[in-house]
Structure 1
Amino acid sequence: MTTNATASTITQEDTQLRVLLRTATSRDAVMATAVLERAGIATRVCATLQELVLEIGRGAGAILVSEEMLSGDDAAALSDAVSVQPPWSDLPVLVLARQGADSRAIAVAMEGMANVTVLERPIRVAALVSALRSALRARRRQYELRRILDDLSEADKRKTEFLATLAHELRNPMAPLSTALAILTRKPLTPEAALPYYRLMGRQIDHMVRLVNDLMEVSRITRGKIELQLGELKIDQVIRDAVELSRPLMDAGRHRLEVHAADAPLAVEGDGVRLTQVFSNLLNNAAKYTPEGGRIDVFVERDGTNAVVRIRDNGAGLPRDMLASIFDMFVQVSGTARAAQGGLGIGLTLVKSLVELHGGTVSAKSEGLGQGSEFVVTLPLAIAHDAGAGKRAAPSTEAAIARHSILVVDDNRDAAESLAALLGLLGARTAVAFSGTEALTIAESFRPSLAILDIGMPGMDGCELARRLRADPARSGLTLIALTGWGQPDDRVRIAQAGFDHHLLKPVDMEELSMALRRLAQR
C-alpha cells in the first residue's frame, strides 16, 4: 500500500525536494514520516522499488531507504535507476544500515551510486534530520544549476538565431551594392542615368550602417554607457520627427497613421535624438508587423506628472507569455522573421534601455497573435520653464566644417582619400597621410586645425600619433578626432587618455562630425 505523508496540497517545489522513503516496516514508515513532517520535510512513502523508481522520475530531493530493502537485486536496480540522471543531477541516497559489519547490499549501492550516505541505526532524530537537511540543501543547489543551464541554453539558442539573422540582413544590401557597382564600372553612364544607382548604393550603405550601429550601441546603452544631451522637449515635436523617419515604411505598407495629440502641449526633459529614436523604432516595429493597408494610431496623453505615448496597431500581435520578455536581448516572436523586413530584433531592447535612462517605463500589450499590439511609453513631465530664451541657430554642417584645415590619417588609402574628398567638397582644406610617420611630416608644413586619425593603423597607431602631436607646443590649438570601428567603453577611455577631443565611429556621419565640432567650439 502507498501512503502520502502529507495531507495538504503538495507544491511543485515540495515535489522537487520531497524525501522518498522505503522502510523495512510500515511502522518504521509512520514513525519516520511523523519525525520528518515535524521538521518541515515533505515525504512520500513507497511500498515497492518499482514505485520508488517511478516517483524519482516525478521529482525527488533525496532517497531514504533501509538496508533491508536493498536485498537481492534491488540494490543494483536502484543503482540503475539513479544512473540515468541528467548531467546536472546528483540525487542524494541515504541508507539506514544495521549496526555492525558492512553488508553486500550496501557495498553494491555504494559502488553503483556516487552520492550515497550510510547512517547506522539506531540513529538520533536530530542526526537524521540534519543529514536530510544537508542533502536537500545540496539538491536545491542542483536545481539552481539546472535553471542556470536551461537559461544558458535558451540564451545560446537565441544568440544563434540572432547571428543567423544578422548574417542574412548584412548579405541583403550587398547584392544590390554589387549589382550597382558592376553596372557603373562596365557601362559608361551620364550623370543623370547614374544617379539612381548612386542613390541605391547610398540607401544600402545607410541600411548596413544602421545595422552595425545598432549592434555597437545596444551594449553601451543597456549598460548605461552613454551621455544624454538633455533639454526641454515638446513631445508633439518628438513624435513628428519620429513619424518623419518612419514615413517610408508607412508608405511602403500603405498604412493609415493617425496621431492623436494631447489637449495641451506636453514637455519632457530628454535627449531629442534618443527619444526620436525610441518612437521611430516603435513606429517602424508597428509598420513591419502590420499587414499591408493596416492602421496605426499614436495617442499622446497626460497622466498626472507623466506624459504617456501609446502606439497601437492592428497587426501580428504578441503571445501573452512574451509580453514581458519581448524587450530582452535576442528575443524574437516565433514565426515573425519574414515580417521583420530587415531588422535584427534588438530594437525593443534599445527602446527599453533608452526610455529607462530618461526615467520612464515601456510596456507591451496584446490580446494574442493576430490581435494587434500596443506599446506604452511613460516619461516624467519637465518642470515648466522658458526653454526658448537665448537660443541661437546652429551653423550648418558646411559652415562648421569649411572653417578648418583638416588632416586625414588612415592606412586604408580608399577610406582616407574619399573622406578627404568629401570634406573638400564641403569647403575644408585637406591633406592626407597613410601612416603615423607620414602624418607627422605633413603636419609640419600643412599646419592643420583639425586632424582625423584612424586608431587601428600598423606601426604607429592613432593613439601614439595623437600623443606625439599633443607633445608639440606649436600645435596646442589642434583639435584631434579619433576615427575607429571600436566603440566599447574601454576603447573610449584609452582614446581619451591619448589626448583626443572626440571619438567618431566608422563610417563618418557628416552631421555627427559637424555637431562634434560645434560642441568643441563652445568649450
Structure 2
Amino acid sequence: MGRAEQSGRIPPAPPGPVRTALYGLWLRGLSMPASRRYALGIGAAVVASLVRISLNPWWGTNLPYIFYFPTTLFTALFAGGGPAWLGMAVCGFMTLVWVLPPVSVLSVTDHVDLVGLMVYVFVDGMVAWVGGAHRTLIAERERQREALAEREASLARAEVAARRLAAIVESSDDAIIAKTLDGVITAWNSSASRMFGYSEAEVVGESVDLFIPVDRRDEEAALRRRIAAGDAISSFDTVRLHKNGEEIDVSISVSPIRDTRGVVIGTSTIARDVRVRKREEAERAALLAEAEATRAEAEAANQAKDDFLAVLSHELRTPLASIVTGVRLLRDVGRDEEKARRAREVIERQASLLSAMVEDLLDVKRIVSRTIVLDRRPCDLADVVAQCMASLRETGRFKEHTVTLDVTPVQVLGDPVRLNQVLMNLVGNAVKFTPPGGSIHVAVTHEGPEAVTRVADTGIGIGADALSRIFDLFVQGEPAPGRVRSGLGVGLAVVRDLVELHGGLVQASSEGLGRGSMFVVRLPAAVPPQPAGEACEEA
C-alpha cells in the first residue's frame, strides 16, 4: 500500500482525459480500505452479471463471458487484483447458474461451454493480473513521486533551517567554532573574528593551535578526547590568544557533532569573552579582602583601645597611690625629717612618671593631628646620643646591665629634644626587655648620606608575629623575666612618627624569641662625612 493510501492525500492527475479519468478512479481506490474494495469488486460483478442475465433473451448464450472483461479490468484498476479475481469468480458462478442451460443448475453440460469457461478464466484472469499489476506499478510510481516530493520538501526545510541557524550563528555575540576531532577548523563566525582577530579565510582548514597558548594545547587535546567519547563540556574557563598575541580569558562550552549514524565526527565550541567578568570578580575579591582587612583592623583597634584603657588605669593607679601614700606620710611624720624626705622623693618620682605618661599621650595626639612642630637646627647626633646615655646612667637605669657606647660625630638637621626623646624610648625599651646581667650596645655611624643609630640588646627578642606591628599604637611585648609590665605601649609609635618627621626611617629586627633585638634609626646627614676619631665610652 502506497503513502497515498495511508495518508489519503490526492496527488495531481497526469495530463490527458482518459488517463485523467483512470487516474482519478485509481486514486479513489487507493483511499478506500480493503473491506470496501472487496465489497466493490463483488458489487461490480453482481451488477455486471445481472445485466448479462437481463440481456440473455436478446443476446442468447453466445460468448456469455465477454461482457465481464471490462468489469474485471475496471475492478482491477480501481480496487486491485484481489477484488478483481473475486469478482471474476462471482461472474463465472452466476453465468453458469442463470445464463447457460440448464438454468438454475450449477453445471457444464456442453464441451463448448467448458471451453468457453476455461477461456474466460484464462483471459479474464490475465485481465485481472494485468490490471492489478498496472495499478501496483502506478502506485509504486506515485509512491516514488511522493517520496521525491517529500525529500525535496525536506531538503527545502533543511535549507531554511540551515539558513536560520547560520543567521543565528553569525549574529551571536559569542564566538562559535566548528572543528574536526583532529583540531582542524571547519567553521568560524564573525564574533570569533572580532574576538580573536583572524578572518574566516585565515583560519578555516588551519589547526586550532593557531590561537591556543602553547601551555594550553595539552588541555585542548584532552577536551577533544572527551568529546570524541561522547561527553559535553559546559562553562570551562581557559585562555586563548588574540592575533596580536594578547591573552584572552574565555569560558567555553564544547559539544560533539555527529553524523547521521550518531558517530562523533567533530566538535562545536562556543567561546565567551569573560575578561570583564574576571575583572569584576577580582575587584569584588579585592573589595572583600579590603573590607575584611578593615574589619580586622577595626577589631584590632577596638581590642587595642580596651587594652590601652586597662593599662592606662593600672599605670595611673600605681603612681597616684604612691603620691597619696606620700602625702599621708608627710601629714603623719611630724618632725621626722628623714621620713619626710623619702615621702617627698616618692611624690616627686611618681609625679614625674605621671608627667611623662601624659606627655607621651600628648605627643601621640600632636603627631596624629599633625600639630607637632620641630625645632630643627644643625646638631651633632653623637653629642645628642652621649647626653641621653649620660642622663640615663645618672638615674641608675643601667645598674643591672652592661651598656657600651660607640659613636662617630655626624651632623644632622634635627630637633635635639625630640631626638633625645627617640633615644630615651629606644634605650628604655632595651633596658625593660633585657634580663639583669644582659648587655646593651648603642652606636652612631656615618654611612654615606645617612646618620645611623643602632640600639642592640641581648634581651628576650621579638616574635615574628609581633615584629610586623611593633611600631603600632598600644602594642606591648612581654617584659623580661623578673620585671612587671609597664608603660602605655605608645613609645615606639612616637619613635616612628618623630623619625619620619625628620625625614628618616626606623627599623626593628630580631632573630627570634630569646635572641635579642636591634633597632636602627636612619636620618639624613646634614654634611658630607668628615674625618673624625671614634669615641668609645662605657656607660
Q: TM-score, normalised by structure 2?
A: 0.47
Query: If you compute each CA radius of gyration, which structure gives the higher value, 1 or 2?
Result: 2
